[in-house]
Structure formats: C-alpha cells, structure tokens
Chain A
C-alpha cells in the first residue's frame, strides 16, 4: 500500500477547517489544510458575528490575538413595515459573563488569521487548491485529488462549506433542499469608526447587532446589521423557495431594506465596498444529515449543516469551530484515525454541540408562522402609531381601536393558532 503524505487532510480553511487543523497540529499530527480561495476567507461571507466561547474552547489564547471587530453590547430587534419601524434595543452595561461574549467579524481577515495560527502550529496551508475528488480504496477514503495530483492521508476532514460537494461525492448525503437553506445577500458599507460610535451609541471597540423582520415582502427570512470597526455589514437572508414564489428579485428587496428610512439614516454618507451572497443552513438539528462520517472521512461545520437560528440568535461560525475541534479530538484519540467517526459523534456530545442543537431543535417552526414576516410587524407599528398620535381630535376608545388594528391584519383564530405554533416551537 502507498504511504500516506499526511496524517490528515482538511478540505477548506474556514472556521471549522482551521480549528480542526490547528488542534491536530498542536497534537503533533502532520496536517495539510487546503483552501480553494487565493487566501482563506476569500470565498466566505457571513452576517458577521462570532460567539467567542468557541475560540476559547480551541485554545484560550486565541481570542486575544484574533482580528475581532467590535464586541457586541447592544442587541436590537427591529419590526419594519411601510415607513415605520419599531426597534427594541437591549443594552447590557453590567459585567458580562465570562465566555458569553460575541464580536462582529470580517471573514477575509478572521479566516486568514485563523489559518495562519494553524500554520504556526505546523500545519501545511495550501491556498488556491480546489479539491476535485476523493481517493477511495476498499470502501475507505484514503486521500484527495486536486487536478491530476493525488495526496494520501490517514483521514480526510470535509470542511468545505454549506454546499459540501465532498460529502456528496462520498455518498454521505444528497444535495441539500431549498426549504432547508436560506440565501443571504450582504453589502459591506464603509463608515468612519467615530460615526458608527455616534449613530449606534457605542464606545470604541463596542458595537451593535440588529435583526429585522418585516423587510422581506412576507418571505420567511429577515434582515441583519452588524457594526464592524469601520464598516457596517447589512443584509437579508431569504427562504429561497418562498422568494421564488414571491417573484421579485431578492437583491431588489434587499435594496428596499437598505433605503428604508430607519436603516438609511444609519448608513448615510457611507460607501458600499462589497456585495456578497451565501447559503445558510436554516433547519437546525433537523437539517443535519443522518451520516456525518464514513471510513476515512469526517464532515464538519456548514458542510454538516450545523447552524442555529432562533430569530434572535444566529449561530454558525461557533458551531463550525466546535465541530472542527471535535473532529480533531476524535482523530487524536487512541485508535485508527480512519475509524474515528463514532468518536467524532461522541465529541460533538462532550463539547455540547449536539446538546445545544437539540435544545433549539424545534425553533425553526417559528419561521413556519408566515404572519411573523409581514402582518405582525405591521400590526405592532400600527398600534404604536395610534398610541402616539395626538392631532387634537377626540381619539376613539383605546381598546376597541387596538382591536380594530389587530383584526385588520389577522383574525383572532389565526392569532390563537400562531401563538400555539410559537409556543410549541420554543
């Protein structure tokens, strides 16, 4: 049998791949980390927030060196309709619990840094390498192919992202379905740091994160805004099946959102510097394929569809890092690296990734309540407009007017049904 070129080959230098390669190299393994972009992060887009407990799990020293943008201290939820918006703004100025921090990030810098940290541990990083296929012998994955070049290893880790062509080639799962994914579009808008501080009421190094509903023409999905050091990440994630039925191009809906008066004022004077798009796993635990490994292959990160979206909390990068760490620990344990699949699943339990996903397993049911994306935000705004209106006329009785506002959008039967659905989901 041919000799292995590496102990492990990790495909994809995103948060999952780099966390895995970093840990393996620190454990003394000879690792090749392959990235199809010219540099790590060059192909990656995300909303832009990292919950840094995950970095701490990989190595407590990492977060201090990471190119993090702003620590999120303001959590905002925006209900939009027409020319109105209601924003709930939660600011916690108390001491934050250790390990409960989150930061806005820019992937081009974060991913490049993390891969460089892995290199410093001894990983061989090769960017500009697209893995075309897997090498298989006697039912076992024994390496990868890049063009005509073959490279052999003890175990392959597929950290190749949400489209995971590697996992599909290996026969682990079929192509993902539209209803299980969200398509995200995002514009990065440059603004001076001091302007961001002022507009969002934050100090240097601190930032805001905002989610918005009511900005998708009723399509399941929502807007997001993250403040970076000197730019703003603004975008929307859409359910692609509903978007197709809606019939209006998604970037047009996104531009409407950007120009809504409640958003436009925050980015006024800024310069658009980049436009990106990416798929997002949206089904939580129910979207995770039944098979995440086979002999010689482990699947981690977005490729394994690890994601949690509660409507308020959107997680992906942290789960990617934790799953990469889980795969590395499984490979480092005693036993044949190629047969580390069961140990990987056990590590996903130990490191609390799967228990976390189970805790939120039914949350995607909330997004099955269609009226959340149009009628309810409009209802909130209509009600508040009524309550705040003073025009000198005698106002109608408050309770009956509020009831009229509610029933203009939704029947009490629908309201009860949606409340029940929401209750069951959480």
Chain B
C-alpha cells in the first residue's frame, strides 16, 4: 500500500472501535442544533461525527475519537451531555 489521501471513513477504518450499541456517550439535542448557525462541530470534529444531512446536524457517536473538541467548541450547547464511553467501549489506540 502506498500513501494516498484518506477520507474520514478510511481514516477511522484504521482504528479499532467497540461500539456501545444504543448507548451514546455524547447526547446532542437536535432542536438546539437546528437553531445554531455557527455549527463549528461540522468542521472541527476530527472524526467527522457531525454531518449535515438535509439541512440538519446529524450526529454519529460510533467513530468518536474521544478528544473532547465538540464539547469545548459547541457554541449553543447542543451537546447536552458529554462523557467518555463506558469502560471497555470506544476507541482503542495501539500505535499512537
């Protein structure tokens, strides 16, 4: 394999995740996000967990790298609760 541009999906596919199905560790209130105009989450989330779909902010916690950037940057507090995944869940780094 050689070096090439990797999409967010391809980057996340390099990592190992144990997804806590049905148990998001970050809660997002879509009603608040609908009123937010700044929406920094769309740009600063390194895992691109926040994406615009049909004009709405859609949040997917499965590929979260647990960095905390959305918690810090969320201007209108649409991120209503931010925690780390429960023990044994989330990302596991082996080479970072």
Q: Do A and B come from one complex?
A: yes
- Listed in ascending order, the chain A residues whose CB lies under 8 Å from chain B are 36-38, 41-46, 106-108, 128-130, 146, 162-163, 165, 175-178, 181, 183, 185-189, 231, 233, 238, 240-241, 243-244, 246-251, 255, 258-259, 264, 267-279
A243 B44 Cβ-Cβ under 8 A: yes
**Bound CA span A41–B86, Å:** 16
- Listed in ascending order, the chain B residues whose CB lies under 8 Å from chain A are 1-6, 8, 11-12, 14-15, 38, 40, 42-44, 46-48, 65-69, 71-73, 83-88, 90-96
B43 A186 Cβ-Cβ under 8 A: no
The 8 closest A-B pairs by CB, nearest first: A244-B40, A277-B46, A275-B11, A163-B68, A276-B96, A277-B65, A45-B96, A277-B67
A277 B2 Cβ-Cβ under 8 A: no
The residues of A that contact B72 with a CB separation of less than 8 Å are 175-178, 181, 240, 279
The residues of B that contact A175 with a CB separation of less than 8 Å are 71-72
Q: A189-B3, A274-B14, A275-B65 are in contact. List 14 more A-B contacts (CB 8 A).
A: A43-B92, A45-B93, A128-B88, A130-B85, A146-B87, A165-B83, A176-B72, A177-B72, A188-B96, A250-B43, A251-B8, A251-B11, A276-B15, A279-B69
B96 A186 Cβ-Cβ under 8 A: yes
Nearest neighbor of B40 in chain A, beta-carbon distance: A244
Taking a contact as CB atoms closer than 8 A, the residue among A38, A231, A248, A273 that contacts B43 in the complex is A248
**Bound CA span A165–B25, Å:** 14
**Bound CA span A42–B91, Å:** 8
Most chain A CB within 10 A, of B15, B38, B43, is at B43
B9 to chain A, nearest CB (A): 11
A255 B93 Cβ-Cβ under 8 A: no
The residues of B that contact A251 with a CB separation of less than 8 Å are 8, 11, 46, 48
A250 B46 Cβ-Cβ under 8 A: yes
The residues of A that contact B48 with a CB separation of less than 8 Å are 249, 251
A41 B93 Cβ-Cβ under 8 A: yes
The residues of B that contact A162 with a CB separation of less than 8 Å are 68
**Bound CA span A44–B90, Å:** 12
B70 to chain A, nearest CB (A): 10
A36 B87 Cβ-Cβ under 8 A: yes
B90 A108 Cβ-Cβ under 8 A: no
Nearest neighbor of A272 in chain B, beta-carbon distance: B14
Nearest neighbor of A186 in chain B, beta-carbon distance: B96
A42 B93 Cβ-Cβ under 8 A: yes
B17 to chain A, nearest CB (A): 12
B2 A183 Cβ-Cβ under 8 A: no
The residues of B that contact A41 with a CB separation of less than 8 Å are 93
B43 A274 Cβ-Cβ under 8 A: no
The residues of A that contact B95 with a CB separation of less than 8 Å are 106, 108, 188, 231, 273-274
B12 A275 Cβ-Cβ under 8 A: yes
A229 to chain B, nearest CB (A): 11
The residues of B that contact A255 with a CB separation of less than 8 Å are 5-6
**Bound CA span A374–B71, Å:** 28
B15 to chain A, nearest CB (A): 6
B65 A276 Cβ-Cβ under 8 A: yes
A270 B3 Cβ-Cβ under 8 A: yes
B91 to chain A, nearest CB (A): 7
B24 to chain A, nearest CB (A): 15
The residues of B that contact A44 with a CB separation of less than 8 Å are 93, 96
The residues of A that contact B96 with a CB separation of less than 8 Å are 44-46, 106-108, 186, 188, 233, 274, 276
The residues of A that contact B65 with a CB separation of less than 8 Å are 45, 275-278
A342 to chain B, nearest CB (A): 30
The residues of A that contact B43 with a CB separation of less than 8 Å are 243-244, 246-250
Known: A240-B40, A251-B48, A275-B15. A267 touches B73 (CB 8 A): no
